[in-house]
Amino acid sequence: MPEQKLPDGPQTHPLVQTLQWLTSPLEYMEACAQRYGDIFTLRIGPVFKPQVFISNPQAMQQIFTTDPKLLDSGEPAGIKSPLLGRQSMLALEGKPHQRQRKLLTPPFHGERMLAYGELIPDITKQVTNQWQVGEPFSVLPSMQAISFQVILKAVFGLEEGVRYEKLKAVLIALLNPKTPILTALMFLFPVLARDLGPWSPWGIFIRRKQQIDELIYAEIRERKEQSDTSRTDILSLMMAAHDEAGEPMTDVELRDELITLLVAGHETTATALTWAFYWIHHLSEVREKLLQELDSLGENPDANAIFKAPYLNAVCSETLRLYPVAMLALNRVVKSPLDIMGYKFEPGTLIIPSIYLTHHREDLYPQPKQFKPERFLERQFAPYEYLPFGGGNRRCIGMAFALFEMKLVLATVLSQWQMELADSKPVQPVRKGALIGPAGGVRMVVTRRRAQNERVLETSSSSV
């Protein structure tokens, strides 16, 4: 069979392409888009397999609406991880994937979110109360602490206590290995993943994973024994859900989804929040407008009012447009011959929807490098033009939860603290694993604590 014709792309050695992709992904994608257009092929990754990058909105719409029987993600698209497990939504495809999504969608939507309207501000206050006026600090670790605790409490439903502390400690150790490069290599090249005893890198990983699994299974067992229908955490809702055949999720499915939600939802939300703090304090007019809107909501505004605040929404949207923390959506693999943008792709071809490149199109977002929340007040973007959470059958299941959390954390911090950037130099985006984060984690300094009644006073004096 003749080799299929793939879109053009760099002709450099795949090793060079891989290095460029690893070290400066945004610049590399932009240079390729400039030279080859909305569709190009890179040969990158452990086996240099060709990957077709796409940033054309119509093609994006096609990708998100094509039947998953023809184009899907999951293990066949190369997404698998010994940490997440084989029942993870990320690894599954086809019917089993659809089943998991059906079971998990209700807990993540609508009214359910409001149940966390007090928990998120409480955790935010607890973490930020440790900030010291006048002492520069990095924002990212505080946001990581908040998003981590939100997941343990809202998703896992854990109360503070021995199991909470143990799980927190092992998860932190597992997610922040002492040798991150070695760990990444072991995941990329399974041949390196050998248990050479309790002190070898893989041995450490395996033992930590076992500890985590034991703690999670103990929690599930306990919940089953003491069933409590008033609980609103996501694990309880998952345990109460049944599929069309009346079957509940198995313990392994519950475990794999919990870890998936933690891994997919923790660092993403923390990084997005850190970017938001940067932009809000980098541009004084954005901060002023935002404070005015938040203050106008009165003292102790309700979570729904914060969620619906238009300027706050525009700030979060623009934050996720300019540097979408997930620069790419999940790999899709062609399963049956498929025409996209005039190319006929054969089964096995990898398609990569580039969120970053789509969000930087001049025709959609004039002056794309500028932070302008007003874009989102002036017009509405289609789901294939603005896609920080991907789309179609793989669209981020935690989208509403992440936006709710971002807005509540921002509103809580901004109403309590006056802060400024510790450094006036613009912060640059850098690769953090699969994500794009702000270099240095954004250093800030708290200048003072805002008084309890300050917001009300400011609002009334501005209305005189």
What is the binding site for ligand HEM (CB under 6 A)? 89-90, 101, 155, 260-261, 264-265, 268-269, 272, 320, 325-326, 329-330, 388-392, 394-398, 401-402
To ligand HEM, the closest distance from the beta carbon of 320 in angstroms equals 6
Q: What angle do CA 432, 406, 53 make, to 5 degrees?
A: 45
Compute the least distance from the CB of residue 272 to ligand HEM, in Å.
Answer: 4
- 269: Cα separation from own chain's centroid: 5
Tokens of 212: 């985590």
| Token digits of residue 256 | 């794999």
What is the distance between the alpha carbons of residues 155 and 255, in angstroms, rounded to a whole number? 12
Specify the residue, 158 or 326, whose C-beta has the smaller distance to ligand HEM: 326
Nearer to ligand HEM, 94 or 440 (CB): 94
- To which residue do tokens 């010994």 refer? 82
Residue 51: CB partners within 8 Å, gap ≥ 6? Answer: 41, 42, 43, 44, 45, 331, 350, 351, 352
With H, G, I as helix, E, B as strand and everything else as coil, classify residue 463: helix
Of 206 and 400, nearer to ligand HEM (C-beta) is 400
- Residues 403/316, Cβ–Cβ less than 8 Å: yes
56 or 204: CB nearest ligand HEM = 56
Residue holding tokens 């190319």?
343
Cβ proximity to ligand HEM: between 399 and 422 the closer is 399
d(CA 194, CA 201): 9
Q: Is 405 left (phi over 0), alpha (psi -120 to 50) or beta?
A: alpha
CB of residue 11 to ligand HEM, shortest distance in Å: 29
Nearer to ligand HEM (CB atom), residue 119 or residue 204: 119
Question: Which residue's CB is nearer to ligand HEM, number 259 or number 444?
Answer: 259
Nearer to ligand HEM, 357 or 446 (CB): 357
**DSSP letters for 93-115:** -HHHHHHHHHHHTGGGSTHHHHT
Cα 388 to Cα 324: distance, rounded to the nearest angstrom: 6
**Shortest Cβ 402–ligand HEM spacing (Å):** 4
CB of 350 to ligand HEM, least distance (A): 13
Question: Where does 37-135 have alpha helices with state H?
Answer: 57-65, 94-104, 111-114, 119-128
- Shortest distance (Å) from residue 86 CB to ligand HEM: 14
User: CB of residue 7 vs ligand HEM: minimum separation in angstroms?
Assistant: 20
CA 89 from centre of chain:
15
Distance CA 450, CA 455 (A): 8
Q: DSSP labels for 5-36?
A: PPPP---S-HHHHHHHHHH-HHHHHHHHHHHH
